[in-house]
């Protein structure tokens, strides 16, 4: 199922620009089917419980409760939100089924890395040459900063944040292929600079510094390997940054009020949350309820709170927000232990100022990495249909 899941993920990203709902439907139906196969295949095996199953299942059940009891401002949007959380749950279920095998986990990480690298090349070239057209063919309402198949610079940055630690990890750990992976990391980082995403640049910069230092501090890489990787990446990033230019990013970083609009959205979201503290306004209903709590007129449709954390609380109430926050806190230990999984932490932090979890196709990337973090590298879990599960250590 690994290649099928990868194909669904790649298809979902490459069609993010499509205004219709059919690509999301294909991705969701595919993940639901794979989850059904995974549950059926493992029906005789001992349940492989991992904590993220709790908040992801809770999100689905909470949305159903809101819908069935009429505790939602817009039932249609709540149904759509329920489908999104079912998608995240299905992705995690498929992940903890197929990623028991260490070889499959490594293959899938490699596939994610190479795909992100190719998208980064496409996105960087396209943003300077396509005049806002996706793949140089399909017109969009925008004329700049259309990053490959993604119309939002912040969506693109969150996508790279999730995958960049994989390249950094390999750049330090594989001394023989260090230059290759340093180049991949540099290209992805430069593409975030080209997108002019402020949060994305800050978080990817932190990843570039933190991943090598953690590997060295944990004695999983020599000081020589870390130094060589940082030097190579530094030189490549300097060259690529000069090519893509830093003017747009620099201007946005030094904007007089970098939190303009986001701050007002946050205040309105907080008022919304405190007005509906227990059950919220209904999953997916932020844009419907926002006008009643707006404190500014931005002259455009406000689709999201630009803060997933606050939006979760506003739409689902404080209990919903608290339970979902455990996804982040659970991820910290395995992410720092693995090092390559730090992208999950970065995406959750980016969600403080944007909405990477609003779209099933994008939010599923940190979720699938969470499912890989549920297992230790070098360990293979082989299901036995009648005698449970045996854990056999393997040498890395």
Instruction: Read off the pLDDT of residues 278-322 as tens digits, 9 standing for 90 and up.
Output: 999 999 999 999 999 999 988 888 999 999 999 999 999 999 999
pLDDT at 390 over 80: no
pLDDT for 350: 97
pLDDT at 343 over 90: yes
Q: What is the pLDDT of residues 17-30, one digit of tens each?
A: 999 899 999 999 99
Higher pLDDT, 267 or 389: 267
pLDDT for 383: 43
pLDDT for 298: 85
pLDDT for 300: 84
Beta bridge partners of residue 380, listed in sequence order: 392
pTM of the entire predicted model: 0.92
Mean pLDDT of 181-193: 96
Quick one: what percent of the chain has pLDDT higher than 70? 94
pLDDT for 377: 60
Query: Distance between CA atoms of 52 and 283, rounded to whole angstroms?
Result: 19
First to last CA, the chain: 23
pLDDT for 299: 84
Query: Distance between CA atoms of 189 and 153, rounded to whole angstroms?
Result: 13
Query: Distance between CA atoms of 173 and 212, rounded to whole angstroms?
Result: 9
Token duo for residue 159? 């996508």
- Residue 191: pLDDT band by 50, 70, 90 thresholds? very high
pLDDT at 41 over 90: no
Token duo for residue 294? 């707006």
- Residue 386: pLDDT band by 50, 70, 90 thresholds? very low
Angle at 342 between CA 243 and CA 247, to 5 degrees: 25
Query: Distance between CA atoms of 316 and 324, rounded to whole angstroms?
Result: 10
- Residue 260: pLDDT band by 50, 70, 90 thresholds? confident
- Residue 115: pLDDT band by 50, 70, 90 thresholds? very high
Closest CA to 201 of 248, 271, 239, 242: 248
Question: CB neighbours of 275 closer than 8 A, spacing ≥ 6?
Answer: 293
pLDDT for 65: 97
Beta bridge partners of residue 391, listed in sequence order: 381
Higher pLDDT, 120 or 175: 120
- Residue 60: pLDDT band by 50, 70, 90 thresholds? very high
pLDDT for 208: 96
Higher pLDDT, 376 or 138: 138
Higher pLDDT, 234 or 388: 234
Token duo for residue 311? 């939006």
pLDDT for 394: 40
144-153, 199-208, 220-229, 370-379: which range is least confident on average? 370-379
CA distances from 61 to 14, 82, 268, 278 (A): 30, 8, 26, 15
pLDDT for 381: 47
Beta bridge partners of residue 147, listed in sequence order: 150
pLDDT for 46: 63
Mean pLDDT of 321-338: 96
Higher pLDDT, 321 or 385: 321
Higher pLDDT, 177 or 347: 347
């Amino acid at each position: 199922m690994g290649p099928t899941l990868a194909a669904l993920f790649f298809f979902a990203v490459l069609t993010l620009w499509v205004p219709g709902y059919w690509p999301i439907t294909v991705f969701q139906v595919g993940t639901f089917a794979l989850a059904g196969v995974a549950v059926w295949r493992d029906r005789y095996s001992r349940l492989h419980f991992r904590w993220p199953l709790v908040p992801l299942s809770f999100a689905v059940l909470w949305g159903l409760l809101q819908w069935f009891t009429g505790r939602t401002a817009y039932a249609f949007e709540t149904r759509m939100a329920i489908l999104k959380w079912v998608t995240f749950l299905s992705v995690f279920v498929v992940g903890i089924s197929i990623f028991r095998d260490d070889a499959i986990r490594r293959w899938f990480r490699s596939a994610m890395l190479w795909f992100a690298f190719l998208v980064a090349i496409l996105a960087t070239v396209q943003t300077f040459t396509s005049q806002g057209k996706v793949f140089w063919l399909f017109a969009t309402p925008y004329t700049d900063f259309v990053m490959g198949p993604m119309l939002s610079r912040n969506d693109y940055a969150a996508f790279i944040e999730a995958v960049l630690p994989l390249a950094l990890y390999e750049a330090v750990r594989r001394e023989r292929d260090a230059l290759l992976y340093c180049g991949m990391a540099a290209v992805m980082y430069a593409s975030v600079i080209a997108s002019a995403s402020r949060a994305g640049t800050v978080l990817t910069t932190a990843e570039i510094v933190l991943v090598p230092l953690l590997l060295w501090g944990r004695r999983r890489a020599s000081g020589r390997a870390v130094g060589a990787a940082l030097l190579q990446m530094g030189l490549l990033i300097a060259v690529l940054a000069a090519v893509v230019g830093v003017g747009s990013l620099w201007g946005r970083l030094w904007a007089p009020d970098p939190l303009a609009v986001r701050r007002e959205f946050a205040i309105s979201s907080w008022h919304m949350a405190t007005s509906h503290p227990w059950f919220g306004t209904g999953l997916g209903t932020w844009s419907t309820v926002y006008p009643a709590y707006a404190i500014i007129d931005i002259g455009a449709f406000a689709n999201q709170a630009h803060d997933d954390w606050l939006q979760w609380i506003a739409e689902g109430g404080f209990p919903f927000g608290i339970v979902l926050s455990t996804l982040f806190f659970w991820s910290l230990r395995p992410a720092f232990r693995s090092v390559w999984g730090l992208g999950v932490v970065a995406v959750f932090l980016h969600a403080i100022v944007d909405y990477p979890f609003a779209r099933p196709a994008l939010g599923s990337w940190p979720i699938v990495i969470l499912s890989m973090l549920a297992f230790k590298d070098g360990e293979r879990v082989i299901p036995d249909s009648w005698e449970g599960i045996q854990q056999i250590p393997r040498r890395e």
